[in-house]
């Protein structure tokens, strides 16, 4: 288990850097899931756990600076526990969330504690010492790597077997209940998206997307294509109506101003 | 977005070397695109991305300001509070570098920088967090859920094609734009975020219907006849009714100022209750 915990820690460290620097999104559960699966020897289960966790974190993105439970730790611990304990990924969500919340709280602390470094940077800036600024820039990514490594390594190394035992002692209703809750949780992510995006002018498009799946069962990509088509139509129509002072268009534009100010 | 008054005094408007030669090459700009990946490397709650933003500009600033006094002024100025969307940063870089090269006044550069970072934050949220990520993540998750290894591969390729294309394109576009960028952006903001919102809202509507697993497993006896509440009552009213209602409830609670953590707690309680009562 030591080598596996080590590899998982290394991956978590890299993913932790990527979450804030680089942003290639190797840190999302959809990628982390199969990687952890590979390390722990069950690639397919990792793939599926990654898909479940990806959807749970679909709306938990850093909108306007708000920090949701940490997606890296959620994805890594969630997948690892799903595989080690042989539980349904939806149950693993319940185990992963407390770790993810704790990780995010610690990151907030790091970001607070890092402010004094800026004053060191000020001195380098004053002396036109660009090398000095470069060197200070590399500190935080290294710190993040170490932090994510430890947070992922410890529970896997020390807790995995215990966690497996604890889960085997858990009563049926608890496991089933966590699984049900895990299935519902994407609703929170979508509500968070709506909290930022929702305006009454866009409500019809939400309805179209919903009905296309609920009644017609269309795949998401098909709906995205229809969405692009409607958006393109709307874009060109707006160009055409611009010269006329139609009151309707006017309200739409006012709405848009609110939209960009609101974020 | 307040500036430190002390620093304000230190950073003078005086430019010792006013030559406005074009010194930046395409190669220089590309180099700074790679540096922009470390925008949040010094993130902190005092200046946010200020340090990483300065870091991303260093090769250009060094080439433009060969005079140490001017370079020091520029570095100190950029070291102030800065925060924008990490994916659209290169556009600001391009515009600001064009202005630096043209030896614009420090206060003009600062003004443009601050004016750009806000609206770009909004556009970036709409484009990346609310459109590109849900779409690529949603499609990839539906593949992965069936055990198809193409899921993560498609996700990384599709996401990063858009991501890196925009990074490089926006740098050169912004640089070409120079000072004219502000007006162009003001015209573009509304249309871009509107189009992104239309696609985004349709996708969110579709995700609500497909990815929330909330249904009742509950049969009651109506006299002699067993009635399956989910199959015969709820689905008859509308398929996906419960996921829709629960999403609306969460949305309403968020509007009321409840935190996502409260909602997670509420959802766990609901799942446990449904499990104990044997109806979910």
Chain A neighbors of B274, CB-CB under 8 A: 177, 180
Buried b (16+ CB within 10 A) or exposed e, A6-23: bbbbbbbbbbbbbbbbbb
**A209/B204 touch (CB, cutoff 8 Å), yes or no:** yes
Q: What is the pLDDT of residue B8?
A: 42
Q: Is A98 exposed, middle or buried (CB count within 10 Å of its CB: 0-12, 13-18, 19+)?
A: middle
Q: Which residue of A has its CA nearest to B11?
A: A126
Nearest CA-CA distance, residue A159 and chain B, Å = 23
Give mean pLDDT in consecutive 10-residue pieces for chain B, a chain of 280 residues: 42 77 92 96 85 96 94 92 89 92 80 72 77 88 91 95 95 83 55 74 84 84 84 87 94 87 84 88
Chain A neighbors of B267, CB-CB under 8 A: 181, 184-185, 187-188
Chain A neighbors of B51, CB-CB under 8 A: 117-118, 121, 133, 136-137
Q: What is the pLDDT of residues A122-149, one digit of tens each?
A: 999 999 999 999 999 999 999 999 999 9
DSSP A128: T
Chain A neighbors of B130, CB-CB under 8 A: 61, 63, 193, 196-197
Q: What is the mean pLDDT of residues A141-161?
A: 87
Q: Which residue has the higher pLDDT, B96 or A186?
A: B96
Task: Give the Cβ contact number of residue A179 at 10 Å.
Answer: 21
Helix (H, G, I), strand (E, B) or coil at B256: coil
To probe the interface with B, which of A214, A233, A253, A257 has the most B CB atoms within 10 Å?
Answer: A214
Chain B neighbors of A61, CB-CB under 8 A: 129-130, 133
List beta partners, residue B228: B219
Read off φ and ψ for residue A239, nearest 5 degrees. Answer: -60, -40
What ipTM did this prediction achieve? 0.72
- Residue B274 structure tokens: 């449904």
The span from the first CA to the last CA of chain B, in angstroms, equals 49
Q: What is the mean pLDDT of residues A177-192?
A: 77
Nearest CA-CA distance, residue B227 and chain A, Å = 22
């Amino acid at each position: 288990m030591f080598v596996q915990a080590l590899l998982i820690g290394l991956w978590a460290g890299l993913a932790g850097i990527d979450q804030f620097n680089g942003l290639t999104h190797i840190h999302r559960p959809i990628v982390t899931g199969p990687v952890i699966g590979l390390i722990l020897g069950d690639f397919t289960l990792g793939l599926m756990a990654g898909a479940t966790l990806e959807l749970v974190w679909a709306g938990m993105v850093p909108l306007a600076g708000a920090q949701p439970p940490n997606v890296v730790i959620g994805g890594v611990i969630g997948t690892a526990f799903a595989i080690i304990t042989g539980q349904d990924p939806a149950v693993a969500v319940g185990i992963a969330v407390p770790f993810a919340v704790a990780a995010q709280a610690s990151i907030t602390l790091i970001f607070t504690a890092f402010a004094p470094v800026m004053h060191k940077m000020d001195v380098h800036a004053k002396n036109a010492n660009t090398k000095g600024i470069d060197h200070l820039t590399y500190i935080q990514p290294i710190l993040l790597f170490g932090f994510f490594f430890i947070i992922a390594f410890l529970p896997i190394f020390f807790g995995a077997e215990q966690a497996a035992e604890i889960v085997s002692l858990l009563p049926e209703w608890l496991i089933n209940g966590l699984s049900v809750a895990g299935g519902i949780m994407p609703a929170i992510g979508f509500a968070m998206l709506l909290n930022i995006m929702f305006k009454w002018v866009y409500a019809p498009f939400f309805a179209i997307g919903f009905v296309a799946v609920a009644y017609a069962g269309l795949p998401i990509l098909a709906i995205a294509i229809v969405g692009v088509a409607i958006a393109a139509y709307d874009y060109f129509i707006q160009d055409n109506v611009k010269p006329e002072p139609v009151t309707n268009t006017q309200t739409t534009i006012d709405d848009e101003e609110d939209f960009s100010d609101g974020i | 977005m307040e500036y430190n008054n002390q620093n304000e005094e230190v950073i003078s408007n005086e430019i010792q070397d006013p030559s406005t030669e074009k010194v930046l090459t395409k190669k220089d700009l590309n180099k700074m695109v790679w540096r922009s990946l470390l925008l949040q490397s010094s993130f902190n709650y005092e200046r946010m991305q200020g340090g990483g933003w300065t870091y991303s500009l260093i090769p250009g600033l060094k080439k433009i300001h060969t005079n140490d006094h001017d370079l020091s002024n520029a570095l100190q100025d950029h070291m102030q509070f800065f925060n924008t969307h990490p994916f659209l940063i290169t556009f600001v870089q391009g515009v600001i570098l064009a202005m630096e090269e043209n030896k614009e006044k420090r206060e003009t550069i600062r003004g443009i920088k601050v004016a750009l970072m806000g609206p770009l934050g909004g556009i970036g949220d709409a484009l990346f967090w609310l459109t590109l990520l849900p779409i690529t993540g949603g499609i990839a998750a539906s593949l992965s859920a069936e055990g198809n290894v193409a899921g993560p591969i498609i996700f990384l390729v599709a996401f990063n094609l858009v991501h890196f294309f925009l990074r490089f394109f926006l740098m050169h576009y912004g640089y070409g734009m120079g000072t004219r960028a502000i007006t162009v952006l003001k015209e573009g903001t509304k249309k871009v975020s509107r189009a992104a919102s239309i696609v985004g809202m349709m996708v969110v509507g579709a995700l609500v219907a497909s990815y929330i697993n909330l249904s009742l497993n509950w049969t009651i006896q109506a006299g002699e006849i067993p009635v399956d509440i989910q199959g015969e009552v709820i689905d008859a009213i509308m398929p996906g009714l419960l996921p829709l209602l629960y999403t609306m409830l969460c949305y309403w609670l968020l509007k009321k100022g409840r935190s996502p953590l409260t909602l997670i707690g509420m959802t766990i309680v609901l799942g446990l209750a449904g499990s104990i009562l044997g109806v979910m």
